Every structure is written in structure tokens, then in C-alpha cells.
Amino acid sequence: MKILLDQNVPRPLVRFLGVHQVTRASELGWSELKNGALLTAAERAGFDVLLSGDKTIQHEQNMAGRKIALVYMSDNHWPLVKDHVAAIVEALDGALPIMEWTPKLRQLVNP
């Protein structure tokens, strides 16, 4: 699975995603792309999933008709994220058009 990591995803998380083809937006020169433009660029480049640490992305983007899945974290601070790596990997493995990993609830929510 091709996964694109948004700028706000903690760097240490990458080492836990080894079974996937993982690319950071900055590696492609996409550091300045905002959410909608980033989703479009990722979709055109053949990414399967965008992982974002922007919890507001769900309210800013219309995912209807998109081929790329979106998984977003409600928190992007590594001290919290590191305790929930397994749940994040599970969300990525089963990514649907839009999913949220919510560390405070410790569950996946499909809005």
C-alpha cells in the first residue's frame, strides 16, 4: 500500500509502517500544499492513503468521489501517538474513504 504522510505526522511513526511504501509529503516537494491540493496531488500520484495529523481535515475536505483514503489522527504529539501505533497501523491497513484514529477514545470511528 502506498501511504503519504502529511507534514504534521510525527517522524518516528515511519519506522512502524515498514510493510507499506511510505513517503513524506516533504520528500516530494509538497510541503507547502494545503489539504485539498495535497489530497489531489497524492491521488494523482497513485497513493492509496493520506495519513494526517490534522484533526480538522474531516471538516475541510469533501471525500466523495475520491479514490484515495484518508486516515487522520486527533492528536499528532509523539508522546501520545507512540502508545497507539498498533491502532494507527490497523486503521491504515483497513483504510476506507475516511477514518479517524482517536487516541482519547482508543477506537476507530467511521463518521
Cα gap 70→49, rounded to integer Å: 6
CATH class of domain segment(s) 2-109? alpha beta
Closest to 50 (Cα-Cα) out of 23, 74, 26:
23
Regarding pTM above 0.75, the answer is: yes
- What pLDDT digit, counting tens, does each position of 67-107 carry? 888 888 888 999 999 998 998 998 888 775 444 444 443 33
The pLDDT of residue 100: 46
Question: How many C-beta neighbours within 10 Å does residue 54 have?
Answer: 19
Length of the chain equals 111
